[in-house]
Chains A and B, each alone.
Chain A
Amino acid sequence: MAVEYEARVARIVEHAPDTRSLFLSGPRIAFRPGQFISCLLPVGGETLIRPYSLASSPEEDDLEICLNLVPGGRASPYLLTLPVGAQVRFTGPWGTFVLDRAPEAEAVFIADGTGIAPIRPMLRRALATATRHPLRLLYGAESRERLLYRTELEAMAREHRDFHNEHVPSARLRDEVARRWVDGDADRARRFFICGVGAIVPALRDLLRGAGYERRAVQYEKW
Chain B
Amino acid sequence: MARIRIIFENGDPERVIEFDPARAPFQHDGKPGSILDVLLGHGIHLEHACGGNCACTTCHVIVKGGSKALSESDESEEDLLDKAPGLTPTSRLGCQAVVEDPDAEIVVVIPRYTINQIVSEHGG
Contacts and interface: CB of A to CB of B under 8 A. Distances in A.
Contact of B75 (A30, A48, A202): A202
B48 A222 contact: no
Contacts of B75: 202, 205-206
B49 A100 contact: no
Interface residues of A, number: 35
Contacts of B76: 202, 222
Nearest to B56: A94
B53 A38 contact: no
Interface residues of B, number: 28
A57 B123 CA distance: 9
Contact of A100 (B58, B83, B116, B122): B122
Contact of B124 (A38, A51, A59): A59
Contacts of B49: 2, 36, 38, 49, 51, 91-92, 94-95
Given A51-B56, A94-B56, A100 B47 contact: no
Interface in A80-119: 91-96, 98, 100-101
A31 interface: yes
Nearest to A96: B83
Interface string B28-59: 01000000000000000101111111111110
Contact of A31 (B53, B83, B115, B119): B119
Contacts of A206: 75
Interface in A48-100: 48-51, 57-59, 91-96, 98, 100
Interface in B61-113: 75-76, 79-80, 82-83
Interface in A165-223: 202, 205-206, 215-216, 220-223
Top-8 shortest CB links A-B: A30-B123, A58-B124, A96-B83, A94-B49, A94-B116, A38-B49, A51-B50, A30-B119
